[in-house]
Structure formats: structure tokens, C-alpha cells
A = this chain, B = another copy of it.
Amino acid sequence: MAPSLEDTTTDTSAAGVDDELAAVKSRVTVVGSGNWGSVASKLIASNTLNLHSFHDEVRMWVFEEILPTGEKLSEIINRTNENVKYLPGIKLGKNVVADPDLENAVRDANMLVFVTPHQFMEGICKRIVGKIRNDAEAISLIKGMEVKKEGPCMISSLISDQLGINCCVLMGANIANEIAVEKFSEATVGYRKNKEMADKWVQLFNTSYFMVSAVQDVEGVELCGTLKNVVAIAAGFVDGLDMGNNTKAAIMRIGLREMKAFSKLLFPSVKDTTFFESCGVADLITTCLGGRNRKCAEAFARNGGKRSFDELEAEMLQGQKLQGVSTAKELYEVLSHQGWLERFPLFSTVHKICIGHLPPAAIVEYTKP
């Protein structure tokens, strides 16, 4: 079991008041310790140290790995305050405590931050259900989600349903490594009803270089995070075809419009204004400027579609798979199932190009409104 970290802040107020405060202070656990999870822990840890309404300690669940040196990842993190594997060179803060025991990590927390690959979430929920506090609140930072035939399986809903707790989301133009070195960035918290809780999440994440704001639109915020990867594939095709900035901007705009239309068809509560937030237009821009989806799609188009995405991913991503390609496939199934293919020419064309049924140049020919 990981060591516990006692509050080290000293208060000028009386000891009795301190005890009372300690009882109502929130305890935060971050479930996940990859690249983004480590950066999230760093952001949170800098705030819990300074804000009296939180316990200093931030517990971070680490999926244990034995490193080539023979040492355990969680032990190195606790010794060096650094996630040497997923965020080397960045100090997380001394109040981040790595814990390889999932159940132990979540037991005392009333604020649970989920930031794992999306395919692990169902298993994690099964392991911790009934073992968390009754008053726990959750937030999901998980950008990928499964899109099933009948519609997307929202990770926030999965968490809410499986654990019986409320779940917000945090999305945005967030390249983890840029935030790790404290470059200015923004993010959006999506919440369902409880504005006070949303404000508390904002307080927990917001720093001088990471500006967070809250909107009452969980589904809108969460869908942005997934759908933008499909648009990034389209933008990559345009880059690979050397069609210029006009065309790229047009394709991004049409993509944003399809993101909005699709989200609103599935969830009529989704708000137009959400797409002006960091999770919307800003994340779309970041993903279409840099990002793996755009890059591999550019290579795909440069090769005239003659080398498959599987081949390019193997070569360019060291075995990782592109979110955008699989989301485009899942999305196509939804559109087809719902009879919406013609209403979403960009989404459907991206999939047809990815599987080789259309040439890359179709991204413009078939997407025109």
C-alpha cells in the first residue's frame, strides 16, 4: 500500500476549527496515470496545496508496471515525484501519492477523476462499485468513447450508471505535454445540473496557465472530444492532397457543423454555444493542426490511399491505433442505422475513404453541402 501524506499546511486558526475543516475537506483521487493523467494530477496537486477546501494529498491510481530497471513504476513516482515512463522530466508535486491498489486508492475520496483509456472504464467500474464513498462525485477526462449502433456510449453515463454517482466531464484543446510545461491552455467542464459541483471541479483544475470554464451540457462537451478526431482525419486528407488553407478551413467548418448537428440529433439538450468553447472550436483547431489523426491521414492521402491505415499506424504510431479511424467506422454504423448518411456527408465520406471505397480526393467532392 502506498504511503499516506499528512496535511502539512499549518493554519493560524484554532485546532478545533482545523479538525472541523479537515472533516469537510474534499479528498481527490485520480484514476489513471498515463500522460494526461499525470498532467491532470500535477494541475490538481498545485491547487489542493493552496486551497483550504481540499486535502493536500492527491492519490493517483497507477496501473503497476515493472520498469526495465526492475523497479515498480508506483515506487519510482513516490520516490522521485515524477512519472518517468509517461511524463518524464516533470515534477508532479510532492503531494501526489501513487497507489497501485485501485480499491485502496478510491476508498476515501469524494472527488474521483477518471482518466484512463476508454476501453478500461467498464472493468474499472466493476472493480470499484460499492467500494467508494456514498457522497463521491466523478469527472471524466476520457476523450474516446465507443459509438454503438444505437448511438454513442458516453463514458460519463457509463460511470454514472455503473457507480450510481454523478459524473461531469472535462474536455478541451489539451495537448498534455504542452500543459505539462505550463503553456497557456483552456478547458471546458460539462455538467448536468449541479452548478456548485461544476464550480468545485473548475476550482480543482484551474491554474494561471490552464483556464477552465463550466457549461451545462455534458453530452455536448463529451461528444466534441470524440467527433473532432473524425474531422481531423478529413483535414489530414486535405493536407495530403495539398489543397491549401481555404479548403482545409472549409472542411474543418463543415466538420464542426456536422459535429453540432449530430450531437443535437442524439441529444436535443446539446447547446450551440458549447461549440464555441475550448472543447469545441479550439480542440478542433488543435487536433487539425497537429495530432496523430491528421498526420496519418495526410500520409494516407499522399500515398493515394494505396497503403492502408493499419500499415501506416504500425509504421508511424508504434502499434497504437488511431481513434479517428475507428470512430469514423462506428459513426458510419450509427448514421447508416438511423438513415442519416446523406445528412452527414463528411462523416460518411471519411469512413469510405479510410476503408478504400473512395479515393482521398472524395473528401471534397462528396462533402460539399
Residues of A within 8 A of B (CB): 173-175, 178-179, 183-186, 208, 211, 213, 243-250, 252-254, 256-257, 260, 272-273, 275-278, 281-283, 285-286, 289-290, 364, 368-369
In the assembly, how many copies of this chain are there? Answer: 2
Assembled-state Cα–Cα distance A185/B367 (Å) = 12
Within the complex, what minimum Cβ distance (angstroms) separates A38 from chain B? Answer: 16
Complex-state Cα separation, A208 to B256, whole angstroms: 21
- A174 near B246: Cβ-Cβ < 8 Å: yes
Q: Bound state CA distance, A248 and B260, in angstroms?
A: 22
Given A211-B369, A253-B278, A253-B282, A184 and B247 contact (CB-CB distance below 8 Å): yes
| Main DSSP-derived SS at the A contact region | helix
Most buried by B among A173, A208, A254, A273: A173
Contact B250 A186 (CB under 8 A): yes
- Cβ-defined contact, B286 with A173, below 8 A: no
Residues of B near A173 (CB, < 8 A) are 245-246, 249-250, 253
A142 to B178 alpha-carbon distance, docked (Å): 39
The residue in chain B whose Cβ has the minimal distance to the Cβ of A280 is B253
Would you give 19 A-B contacts (Cβ < 8 Å), ordered by A? A173-B246, A174-B246, A175-B245, A183-B243, A183-B244, A183-B246, A184-B243, A184-B250, A184-B364, A185-B250, A245-B290, A248-B286, A249-B281, A250-B282, A252-B285, A253-B282, A272-B276, A275-B276, A281-B281
Contacts A183-B244, A276-B256, A276-B275; A368 near B211 (Cβ below 8 A) = yes
A253: chain B residues at CB < 8 Å are: 173, 186, 276-278, 281-282, 285
Q: Which of B183, B245, B260 contacts A286 (CB 8 A)?
A: B245
Q: By CB atoms of chain B within 10 A, which of A282, A285, A369 has the most? A: A285
Taking CB as reference atom, which chain B residue is nearest A176? B246
Residue in chain B with minimal CB distance to A254: B186
In the complex the two chains form, is A179's CB within 8 Å of B282's CB?
Answer: no
- CB neighbours (8 Å) of A183 from chain B are 243-244, 246-247
A276 engages B260 (CB within 8 Å): yes
Known interface pairs A174-B246, A183-B244, A250-B186. Does A257 touch B276 (Cβ–Cβ under 8 Å)? yes
Beyond A178-B245, A185-B246, A249-B281, 7 additional pairs, beta carbon < 8 A: A173-B249, A175-B245, A249-B278, A249-B286, A249-B289, A253-B277, A253-B282
Q: Bound complex: CA of A265 vs CA of B289, how far in Å?
A: 32
A260 to B290, CA, bound (A): 26
Instruction: Report chain B residues within 8 Å CB of A285.
Output: 245, 248-249, 252-253, 285
Which B residues lie within 8 Å of A174 (CB)? Answer: 246
Q: How far is the CA of A27 from the CA of B227 in the complex (A)?
A: 45
- A282 to B283, alpha carbons, bound, how many Å? 15
Given contacts A244-B178, A246-B175, A285-B249, whether A369 and B278 have CB atoms under 8 Å apart is no
Please report the C-alpha to C-alpha distance between residue A208 and residue B179 in the assembled complex, in whole angstroms: 42
- The residue of chain B having its C-beta at the shortest distance from the C-beta of A185 within the complex is B246
Contact residues in B for A249 (Cβ distance below 8 Å): 173, 278, 281-283, 285-286, 289
Given A178-B247, A245-B289, A272-B273, answer yes or no on A369-B213 (Cβ-Cβ < 8 Å): yes
A249 to B173, CA, bound (A): 7
Docked-complex contact A286 and B246, CB < 8 angstroms: yes
Which residue in chain B gives the minimum CB-CB distance to A288?
B285
- A286 and B244 CA atoms in complex are apart in Å by 9
In whole angstroms, how far apart are the Cα atoms of A144 and B267 in the complex?
40
Distance (whole angstroms) from the CB of A363 to the closest CB of chain B: 9
